[in-house]
Amino acid sequence: MANRAGTSKSNWGKLVHKGMGGFLNPPTHPEHKWDVQSVYGDTFHMSLSAAAEATWLNDETRRQATSLLRNWKRPPIQSPEVQDWIRKVLGYCKGCYVGQDKQGNLSWNVSDLRIRPDIDPMLNENIHAGVHLIRKYYPDYMPTKTDFAQAYWGKKPEKARLVAKKAPKAKKRGVSKRRSSTGIREVRL
């Protein structure tokens, strides 16, 4: 394992096939299944993106993380999986808009976002946090009214309806014949 001089043994990492989740990443993104953790002890655990930018991390691990990210093939934006992901991101970021950091600069950091449910996202798409995140992966993305109308977080609305219990069927009202002492007569059920 070659590395730059002076890198501490505690800064050696390795790729592991676990994944940190990356719940806001698009379908098939490598961060769903891969992450980086320390080789010696349990000193760090990080996403591929963080590892690719960590100048203190050993070179080999940084190269591997960068390679996985660079070689990822984005699914087409029209695919059903990506369309569903877009609606999840918009639902998760509902009412979230760009904010300012302590120095007054525009910031997309989650701790700086502004919650503004009164703002129309279609008129303010360029400052909407969900649109910003989607454009990180699909730069030409243009939201539609349908995207915002069908945005959700948690259970997918169609699936939630399928899970709902069906109302019991009403009993059929029909005619049955029953023999009585005087003969056959009709009885309504």
Report the distance separating Cα 53 and Cα 85, nearest Å. 26
Mean pLDDT of 134-149: 97
Most confident of 22-36, 83-97, 153-167: 83-97
Within-domain flag for 60? yes
Query: According to the model, what pLDDT value does residue 68 have?
Result: 94
Q: What is the pLDDT of residue 42?
A: 74
Answer with the residue of higher pLDDT: 141 or 159: 141
163 located within any domain = no
Please check whether residues 17 and 43 belong to one and the same domain.
yes
Residue 172 belongs to a domain: no
Judge if 147 and 84 occupy the same domain. Answer: yes
Q: For residue 21, what pLDDT is reported?
A: 67
86 in the same domain as 50: no
Q: Are 46 and 22 in contact (CB under 8 A)?
A: no
pLDDT of residue 5: 53
- Domain assignment present for 182: no
**Tokens standing for 59?**
């070179």
Same domain for 132 and 91, yes or no, is yes
Could you tell me if 92 and 139 lie in one domain?
Answer: yes
pTM above 0.85, yes or no: no
Whether residue 84 sits in one domain with residue 60: no
What is d(CA 90, CA 82) in angstroms, rounded to the nearest whole number? 12
- Considering 11-15, 22-26, 80-84, 166-170, the range whose residues carry the highest mean pLDDT is 80-84
Same structural domain, 59 and 114? no
88 vs 12: which has the higher pLDDT: 88
Domain count, the chain: 2
Per the structure, the complete domain to which residue 55 belongs is given by: 9-70
Burial letters 99-136, b for 16+ CB under 10 A, else e: beeeeeeeebeeeebeeeeeeebeeebebbbbbbbbbe
Does a structural domain hold residue 176? no
Instruction: Please report whether residue 22 resides in a domain.
Output: yes
Q: Do residues 93 and 62 share a domain?
A: no
Q: What gap in Å lies between CA 7 and CA 46, rounded to an integer?
A: 18
- 146 vs 165, more confident: 146
State yes or no: pLDDT of 116 exceeds 70.
Answer: yes
